[in-house]
Amino acid sequence: MRILLVEDEEYMAQAVAQVLEKNNYAVDLAYDGEYGLDCGLSGIYDLIILDVMLPGCSGLEILKTLRREGIAVPVLLLTARSETADKVTGMDLGADDYLTKPFEMQELLARLRVLARRKPDISAQSGFTFGDILLNPYTLSLYCGSQSFKLTLKESQLLEMLMDARGGVVSKSRIIEKVWGFDSEAEDRHVEVYISFLRKKLKALGANTFVETVRGMGYALRTGKE
Protein backbone atom coordinates (compact mmCIF):
# COMPACT_ATOMS: atom_id res chain seq x y z
CA MET A 1 0.00 0.00 0.00
CA ARG A 2 1.40 3.39 -0.96
CA ILE A 3 0.82 6.43 1.23
CA LEU A 4 1.42 10.09 0.47
CA LEU A 5 2.30 12.17 3.52
CA VAL A 6 2.07 15.93 2.99
CA GLU A 7 3.59 17.67 6.00
CA ASP A 8 5.89 20.70 6.15
CA GLU A 9 7.47 19.86 9.52
CA GLU A 10 10.22 17.79 7.92
CA TYR A 11 11.55 16.20 11.08
CA MET A 12 8.11 14.99 12.14
CA ALA A 13 7.24 13.86 8.62
CA GLN A 14 10.38 11.72 8.45
CA ALA A 15 9.70 10.19 11.85
CA VAL A 16 6.15 9.29 10.82
CA ALA A 17 7.37 7.91 7.48
CA GLN A 18 9.86 5.69 9.26
CA VAL A 19 7.17 4.10 11.41
CA LEU A 20 4.86 3.67 8.42
CA GLU A 21 7.64 1.96 6.46
CA LYS A 22 8.26 -0.41 9.36
CA ASN A 23 4.59 -1.32 9.06
CA ASN A 24 4.98 -2.24 5.38
CA TYR A 25 3.58 0.89 3.82
CA ALA A 26 5.51 2.54 1.01
CA VAL A 27 5.66 6.28 1.76
CA ASP A 28 6.24 9.36 -0.36
CA LEU A 29 6.86 12.65 1.40
CA ALA A 30 5.88 16.11 0.24
CA TYR A 31 7.01 19.07 2.35
CA ASP A 32 4.90 21.72 0.67
CA GLY A 33 1.38 22.04 -0.62
CA GLU A 34 2.16 22.45 -4.31
CA TYR A 35 4.33 19.34 -4.55
CA GLY A 36 1.80 17.49 -2.40
CA LEU A 37 -0.94 18.38 -4.84
CA ASP A 38 1.16 17.26 -7.83
CA CYS A 39 1.81 13.92 -6.15
CA GLY A 40 -1.83 13.50 -5.14
CA LEU A 41 -3.06 14.22 -8.66
CA SER A 42 -0.97 11.30 -9.96
CA GLY A 43 -3.73 9.09 -8.54
CA ILE A 44 -1.30 6.38 -7.45
CA TYR A 45 -1.93 6.51 -3.69
CA ASP A 46 -4.03 4.20 -1.54
CA LEU A 47 -4.11 6.69 1.34
CA ILE A 48 -3.16 10.34 1.78
CA ILE A 49 -2.22 11.98 5.08
CA LEU A 50 -2.63 15.70 4.70
CA ASP A 51 -1.49 18.40 7.08
CA VAL A 52 -3.88 21.37 6.97
CA MET A 53 -1.42 24.25 7.47
CA LEU A 54 1.09 24.08 4.62
CA PRO A 55 3.19 26.57 2.70
CA GLY A 56 2.13 27.06 -0.91
CA CYS A 57 -1.28 25.54 -0.92
CA SER A 58 -3.24 24.45 2.16
CA GLY A 59 -4.26 20.88 2.89
CA LEU A 60 -7.90 21.88 2.44
CA GLU A 61 -7.19 23.29 -1.03
CA ILE A 62 -5.37 20.08 -1.97
CA LEU A 63 -8.31 18.01 -0.76
CA LYS A 64 -10.80 20.16 -2.67
CA THR A 65 -8.80 19.84 -5.89
CA LEU A 66 -8.36 16.08 -5.55
CA ARG A 67 -12.08 15.54 -5.04
CA ARG A 68 -12.94 17.89 -7.91
CA GLU A 69 -10.64 15.81 -10.14
CA GLY A 70 -12.52 12.69 -9.08
CA ILE A 71 -9.69 11.21 -7.00
CA ALA A 72 -11.53 9.30 -4.28
CA VAL A 73 -8.50 8.13 -2.25
CA PRO A 74 -9.13 8.05 1.53
CA VAL A 75 -7.71 11.24 3.10
CA LEU A 76 -6.78 11.69 6.75
CA LEU A 77 -6.28 15.32 7.81
CA LEU A 78 -3.76 16.38 10.43
CA THR A 79 -4.94 19.45 12.30
CA ALA A 80 -3.65 21.52 15.19
CA ARG A 81 -5.75 21.65 18.34
CA SER A 82 -6.91 25.18 17.57
CA GLU A 83 -8.15 24.41 14.07
CA THR A 84 -11.66 23.13 14.86
CA ALA A 85 -13.17 25.04 11.95
CA ASP A 86 -10.73 23.31 9.58
CA LYS A 87 -11.90 19.86 10.74
CA VAL A 88 -15.49 20.70 9.89
CA THR A 89 -14.57 22.25 6.54
CA GLY A 90 -12.31 19.27 5.83
CA MET A 91 -15.03 16.72 6.47
CA ASP A 92 -17.41 18.76 4.29
CA LEU A 93 -14.81 18.76 1.51
CA GLY A 94 -14.62 14.97 1.63
CA ALA A 95 -11.91 14.09 4.16
CA ASP A 96 -12.46 10.62 5.61
CA ASP A 97 -10.96 11.17 9.03
CA TYR A 98 -8.79 13.59 10.98
CA LEU A 99 -6.25 13.44 13.76
CA THR A 100 -5.27 16.30 16.07
CA LYS A 101 -1.55 16.95 16.55
CA PRO A 102 0.29 15.76 18.55
CA PHE A 103 -0.91 12.18 18.13
CA GLU A 104 0.29 8.69 19.04
CA MET A 105 1.70 6.63 16.17
CA GLN A 106 -0.41 3.66 17.30
CA GLU A 107 -3.52 5.74 16.84
CA LEU A 108 -2.45 6.87 13.37
CA LEU A 109 -1.76 3.25 12.37
CA ALA A 110 -5.17 2.13 13.65
CA ARG A 111 -6.94 4.91 11.72
CA LEU A 112 -5.06 4.04 8.55
CA ARG A 113 -6.07 0.38 8.83
CA VAL A 114 -9.71 1.44 9.07
CA LEU A 115 -9.39 3.74 6.05
CA ALA A 116 -7.63 1.09 3.97
CA ARG A 117 -10.46 -1.33 4.70
CA ARG A 118 -12.82 0.98 2.84
CA LYS A 119 -11.15 -0.07 -0.38
CA PRO A 120 -13.29 -2.73 -2.01
CA ASP A 121 -12.13 -6.28 -1.48
CA ILE A 122 -9.99 -5.86 1.56
CA SER A 123 -10.49 -6.45 5.24
CA ALA A 124 -7.84 -6.63 7.93
CA GLN A 125 -8.43 -10.36 8.34
CA SER A 126 -8.71 -11.61 4.83
CA GLY A 127 -6.79 -9.26 2.55
CA PHE A 128 -7.20 -9.23 -1.23
CA THR A 129 -8.52 -12.25 -3.08
CA PHE A 130 -8.40 -13.22 -6.73
CA GLY A 131 -9.06 -16.71 -8.12
CA ASP A 132 -7.50 -19.13 -5.66
CA ILE A 133 -5.00 -16.73 -4.08
CA LEU A 134 -5.22 -14.42 -1.09
CA LEU A 135 -2.82 -11.60 -0.28
CA ASN A 136 -2.47 -9.99 3.12
CA PRO A 137 -0.63 -6.70 2.40
CA TYR A 138 0.02 -6.01 6.10
CA THR A 139 1.97 -9.21 6.72
CA LEU A 140 3.19 -9.54 3.10
CA SER A 141 1.80 -13.08 3.03
CA LEU A 142 0.49 -14.80 -0.08
CA TYR A 143 -1.80 -17.81 0.44
CA CYS A 144 -3.10 -20.51 -1.85
CA GLY A 145 -4.99 -23.39 -0.24
CA SER A 146 -2.96 -24.54 2.75
CA GLN A 147 0.31 -23.15 1.34
CA SER A 148 1.77 -19.70 1.88
CA PHE A 149 4.77 -17.59 1.02
CA LYS A 150 6.27 -14.38 2.34
CA LEU A 151 6.59 -11.70 -0.33
CA THR A 152 8.90 -8.71 -0.39
CA LEU A 153 7.25 -5.32 -0.08
CA LYS A 154 7.58 -4.61 -3.81
CA GLU A 155 6.21 -8.04 -4.78
CA SER A 156 3.25 -7.49 -2.48
CA GLN A 157 2.55 -4.02 -3.91
CA LEU A 158 2.82 -5.28 -7.45
CA LEU A 159 0.48 -8.19 -6.81
CA GLU A 160 -1.93 -5.90 -4.97
CA MET A 161 -2.13 -3.66 -8.06
CA LEU A 162 -2.84 -6.62 -10.32
CA MET A 163 -5.45 -7.98 -7.92
CA ASP A 164 -7.05 -4.56 -7.61
CA ALA A 165 -7.42 -4.41 -11.40
CA ARG A 166 -9.56 -7.60 -11.25
CA GLY A 167 -8.08 -9.03 -14.44
CA GLY A 168 -7.71 -5.66 -16.15
CA VAL A 169 -4.38 -4.74 -17.73
CA VAL A 170 -1.92 -2.73 -15.62
CA SER A 171 0.79 -0.89 -17.59
CA LYS A 172 4.47 -0.97 -16.73
CA SER A 173 4.57 2.81 -16.31
CA ARG A 174 1.70 2.65 -13.82
CA ILE A 175 3.50 -0.10 -11.92
CA ILE A 176 6.71 1.94 -11.78
CA GLU A 177 4.85 5.01 -10.48
CA LYS A 178 3.02 3.10 -7.82
CA VAL A 179 5.58 0.52 -6.68
CA TRP A 180 8.79 2.49 -7.12
CA GLY A 181 7.23 5.90 -6.53
CA PHE A 182 6.39 9.13 -8.24
CA ASP A 183 9.64 10.61 -9.66
CA SER A 184 11.48 7.27 -9.50
CA GLU A 185 14.10 6.29 -12.06
CA ALA A 186 13.09 2.63 -12.18
CA GLU A 187 12.86 1.15 -15.67
CA ASP A 188 10.74 -1.46 -17.40
CA ARG A 189 13.32 -4.15 -16.71
CA HIS A 190 12.88 -3.69 -12.96
CA VAL A 191 9.19 -4.45 -13.40
CA GLU A 192 10.02 -7.50 -15.53
CA VAL A 193 12.29 -8.86 -12.81
CA TYR A 194 9.62 -8.49 -10.13
CA ILE A 195 6.98 -10.03 -12.40
CA SER A 196 9.26 -13.04 -12.81
CA PHE A 197 9.65 -13.32 -9.00
CA LEU A 198 5.88 -13.26 -8.62
CA ARG A 199 5.41 -15.87 -11.31
CA LYS A 200 7.88 -18.18 -9.57
CA LYS A 201 6.08 -17.82 -6.25
CA LEU A 202 2.64 -18.39 -7.78
CA LYS A 203 3.95 -21.49 -9.53
CA ALA A 204 5.62 -22.79 -6.37
CA LEU A 205 2.31 -22.39 -4.53
CA GLY A 206 0.57 -24.46 -7.22
CA ALA A 207 -1.81 -21.53 -7.79
CA ASN A 208 -4.35 -21.61 -10.56
CA THR A 209 -3.74 -17.86 -10.94
CA PHE A 210 -0.99 -16.50 -13.17
CA VAL A 211 0.37 -13.23 -14.55
CA GLU A 212 -0.21 -12.82 -18.27
CA THR A 213 1.93 -10.50 -20.37
CA VAL A 214 -0.34 -8.42 -22.59
CA ARG A 215 1.99 -7.44 -25.42
CA GLY A 216 2.58 -3.70 -25.70
CA MET A 217 0.19 -2.98 -22.83
CA GLY A 218 1.32 -4.51 -19.56
CA TYR A 219 0.25 -7.34 -17.28
CA ALA A 220 -2.99 -8.90 -16.10
CA LEU A 221 -3.93 -11.63 -13.66
CA ARG A 222 -5.67 -14.66 -15.10
CA THR A 223 -7.01 -17.89 -13.70
CA GLY A 224 -6.89 -21.28 -15.38
CA LYS A 225 -4.17 -22.93 -17.43
CA GLU A 226 -1.19 -20.80 -18.45
Nearer Cβ to Ca ion, position 80 or 114? Answer: 80
Buried b (16+ CB within 10 A) or exposed e, 191-220: beebbeebeebbeebebbbbbeeeeeebbb
Nearer Cβ to Ca ion, position 6 or 133? Answer: 6
CB of 176 to Ca ion, least distance (A): 30
CB of 75 to Ca ion, least distance (A): 16
For every residue of the chain, DSSP letters joined together read -EEEEE-S-HHHHHHHHHHHHHTT-EEEEESSHHHHHHHHHT---SEEEEESS-SSS-HHHHHHHHHHTT----EEEEEETT-HHHHHHHHHTT--EEEEES--HHHHHHHHHHHHTTSTT--TTT-EEETTEEEETTTTEEEETTEEEE--HHHHHHHHHHHHTTT--B-HHHHIIIII-TT----HHHHHHHHHHHHHHHHHTT-SEEEEEETTTEEEEEES--
- Write out the residues near Ca ion by the rule CB under 5 A: 8, 51, 53
CB of 80 to Ca ion, least distance (A): 8
Nearer Cβ to Ca ion, position 53 or 220? Answer: 53
Nearer Cβ to Ca ion, position 51 or 96? Answer: 51
CB of 7 to Ca ion, least distance (A): 6
CA distance 108 to 15: 13
CB closest to Ca ion, residue no: 53
Nearer Cβ to Ca ion, position 8 or 132? Answer: 8
CA 81, 84, 86, 92 dihedral sign is positive
CB of 82 to Ca ion, least distance (A): 12
CB of 122 to Ca ion, least distance (A): 30
Nearer Cβ to Ca ion, position 36 or 218? Answer: 36
CB of 223 to Ca ion, least distance (A): 47
Nearer Cβ to Ca ion, position 97 or 212? Answer: 97
